[in-house]
Structure 1
Amino acid sequence: MRASEEQLRGLMISGLDGDAGDHAALLRLLAPLLRGFYRRRANGCEDDIEDLVQETLIAVHTRRATYDRDRVFTAWLFAIARYKMIDHFRRSRRLQPIEDFEDVLIAEGFEDASGARMDIDDLLETLPDKQARMIRATRIEGLSVAEAAQADGIGESDVKVSVHRGLKSLMMRIQGGGR
């Protein structure tokens, strides 16, 4: 069974408040989630995937004090995971293209013109909840449409429509045509 954002965030906060059992439970729940994340992106051997999972779990443990309790936990987690994957590819000299959600959201030339990066969490908060959840699930967490539909209890076509409408709305905002 896949843990929800609320469950993971609750365990993280409880662990930060000193509950070692909840912290251990969080790390146990994160391992299969991270394996799936890396398996879909790393195109490597199982040893590489396990190394990345362990490195990420260690980073979550050692950097847990940097987690902002008011933010989405999985966004923080997958940011760490992406950095660990990039570092791994650099070390092994196997740089591969990595799907970067920010590239989809940032209009051409926006970053150079403004000199700033957009905070994806803040941007997603401008969307209706279901659209934001489905974009997070499929584009950030790397779930398939079927996995996201099952996790949220909705149909696959609903996931596809939500992602499409959400990305279209975000692109309009970024390009200056939206609110």
Structure 2
Amino acid sequence: MSGIDEAELSRLMRAAIAGNEKAYADFLHGVAALVRGFARRKIVQGGVDPEDIVQETLLAIHTKRHTWRSDAPVLPWVYAIARFKLIDAFRRRGRRIEVEIGEIAETYASPEAETVSERDIGRVLDSLPPGQRLVVSSISVEGRSISETATTLGMSEVAVRVALHRGLAAIAMRFGEEPA
């Protein structure tokens, strides 16, 4: 799709609005290539298929082509539609990030990965005040939920969250990291 520019796309769109089907097909073909490149550059973490963005953008262009002002450039109009379709796709996906297991399998399958010994965990936990130690141990080591920990320790869930945050922040500071 090299060689097509703003002026050519605008000319094709004007001809398409006037009823030229060949010009409309050429316009959509050119726009599809541009939107495909745009979507691929913007989708870095996956979870959204660039082809879905292309198809939704082309459909929106088709249904809203009467809103384009023929005296205005066409590419900003096209990219605005593509950007909104991309935002809609990310919103539908939510905060989930889907990663193919094959892409990260080598990272987690490495037998040389450093492990933390129970002794190291014990030393870190011993450096915390007793309340924080119990909460961090219950949630981070034993895998209990906040509500289970609150019930077991006779604390409110808010107090458990505060103790967990403070305990993890203390551990992070001890190891020279910024707390989250």
| TM-aligned CA distance change 1:46 to 1:94, over 3 Å | closer
| TM-aligned CA distance change 1:92 to 1:8, over 3 Å | same
Q: Which one-letter code corresponds to 1:27 in the other structure?
A: L
How far the C-alpha of 1:46 sits from its partner, in A, is 9.0
For 1:108-127, what per-residue CA distance to the aligned partner results, in whole angstroms no more than 9, with x for missing partners? Answer: xxxxxxxxxxxxxxxxxxxx
Is the CA contact (8 Å cut-off) linking 1:89 and 1:95 kept in structure 2? no
TM-score (structure 1 length as normaliser): 0.50
Identity over aligned pairs, percent: 42
Q: Structure with the greater relative contact order (CA < 8 A, sep ≥ 6): 1 or 2?
A: 1
1:33 matches 2:37:
no
Q: Secondary structure at the match of 2:49?
A: helix
Q: Distance in 1 between matches of 2:31 and 2:4?
A: 9
Residue 78 of structure 1 aligns with which residue? Answer: 79
Residue 63 of structure 1 aligns with which residue? Answer: 64
How far the C-alpha of 1:84 sits from its partner, in A, is 0.4
For 1:61-98, what per-residue CA distance to the aligned partner results, in whole angstroms no more than 9, with x for missing partners? Answer: 111011001111001001101110111100111499xx
| TM-aligned CA distance change 1:2 to 1:93, over 3 Å | farther
Q: Secondary structure at the match of 1:51?
A: helix
For 1:140-175, what per-residue CA distance to the aligned partner results, in whole angstroms no more than 9, with x for missing partners? Answer: xxxxxxxxxxxxxxxxxxxxxxxxxxxxxxxxxxxx
| TM-aligned CA distance change 1:7 to 1:90, over 3 Å | same
TM-score (structure 2 length as normaliser): 0.50
Aligned-pair Cα RMSD in Å? 2.0
| TM-aligned CA distance change 1:73 to 1:54, over 3 Å | same
| TM-aligned CA distance change 1:88 to 1:47, over 3 Å | closer
Q: Secondary structure at the match of 1:63?
A: helix
Q: Where in structure 1 do 4 or more consecutive aligned residues deviate above 3 Å?
A: 44-47
Q: Which one-letter code corresponds to 1:50 in the other structure?
A: E
Larger Rg: 2
Matches within 5 A, 1:96-111: none
Gaps of 5+ in 2: 98-180
